[in-house]
Amino acid sequence: METFWFMVVTVMLAIYVVLDGFDFGTGIIYLLAARTDSERRTALAAIGPVWNGNEVWLIAAGGMLFFAFPKAYAAGFSGFYLALIMVLWLLMFRGLSIELRSHLDHRLWRTFWDVSFAGASLLLALVFGAALGNLIRGVPLNPDGYFFTALWTDFLPGPEPGILDWYTVLMALTSAAILTVHGANYLAMKTERELARRANRIAEKAAWAVLPLTLTTIVAITFVQPGLRPNYIAHPIGYALPVVTAFGLAGTISFRRLEQHVRAFASSSVLILGLLGSAAWGVYPNLLIATTDPAYSLTIYNAAASPYGLRIGLVWFVIGISLVIAYTVIAHRAFWGKVGLHLIEGGH
């Protein structure tokens, strides 16, 4: 049961990154791709009906982590307290930017919220990338299974690292680059005319930044966390995940050149899923890797809830996840297709 719930949490987080990732990416390129007020309203209209629904997956994944692995949840939320508060404020600012931008017809008001939306989106992409880097690198767990991590120390991975070091910063930059491509693919798929063309050009340029960053990150992992290799050696089928990642990146670049926007967006989604799946395959069965002593690591076995609770929770999980999937599918199908700039200009 522990492995099943590890897979559940991993898949739900991966789906969240894919869905809310194009929201972040749209925000990152927002000021570059959308230059007029009508174009910016179009960009916001492209994500407006679905952005808050996408965040349901983050809430649900957090709930599943709390239910299935309460000790890891408690340790992670206490150790990353500062970073999580930052995420909370950034999520609030991003939501407020979308909702309040059009409440006052004044250029200064709109500019403030436009910059807030773009800045919060970029910072969220960086913070979530750094968070993934911390999970892969490990954290300074003590014998009780808890830790405290400063925002930074000497910027070097080690027994007592900070949240930010050269590796987690590299992960943050890679995350921002990938989500930039993902969001640009989405905006090119959902919009028309010059806005779509600018998004397409941004995606094409950013995709070439993703390639060296991703390769550098993969090489860096072998030095920062060699403990990820045993799972691949013991179960070589796991190498299928990096192969899927490579196909996703190749598809993103090639379909972008052909201006096949839906396929390019699907390819960047596959790229994200492949990367996260590769990381999860290497980390398993760890939830929080200890940099102090491997024996202190929190795994799916020593951090799990009782077997009885895990079995009972399965019933409620099936009901809950069915509702979340149904809502997500209905919402995205209802607003499928391009957002016409002429409708925005017409005030509809």
Which residues in the chain belong to E strands, given as ranges?
286-288, 298-299
Percent of the chain with pLDDT over 70: 97
CA distances from 196 to 184, 236, 279 (A): 9, 41, 33
Averaged pLDDT, 274-283: 94
In the predicted structure, residue 254 carries a pLDDT above the cut 70: yes
Q: Tokens for 343, please give them.
A: 């409708």
Local structure of residue 139 (DSSP, 8 states): B
Separation between Cα atoms, residue 94 and residue 79, nearest integer Å: 25
**Per-residue pLDDT band at 345 (split at 50, 70, 90):** low
**Per-residue pLDDT band at 289 (split at 50, 70, 90):** very high
Per-domain residue ranges for the chain? 2-221+283-345
pLDDT of residue 160: 86
Contact by Cβ (8 Å): 345, 43: no
Contact by Cβ (8 Å): 210, 249: yes
CB neighbour list of residue 324: distance below 8 Å, 6 or more residues apart: 56, 57, 60
Contact by Cβ (8 Å): 278, 248: no
pLDDT in tens, 42-56: 999 999 888 888 999
pLDDT in tens, 215-250: 999 899 988 988 898 999 999 999 999 999 999 999
Contact by Cβ (8 Å): 172, 133: yes
Residue whose structure tokens are 């773009």? 118
In the predicted structure, residue 348 carries a pLDDT above the cut 50: no
Local structure of residue 314 (DSSP, 8 states): H
Percent of the chain with pLDDT over 90: 71
Separation between Cα atoms, residue 306 and residue 3, nearest integer Å: 14
155 dihedral zone (left: phi>0; alpha: psi -120 to 50; beta): left
Averaged pLDDT, 310-332: 91
Element (H, E) at 58: helix 56-68
Element (H, E) at 109: helix 107-137
Q: Is the dihedral of CA 173, 219, 234, 143 positive or negative?
A: negative
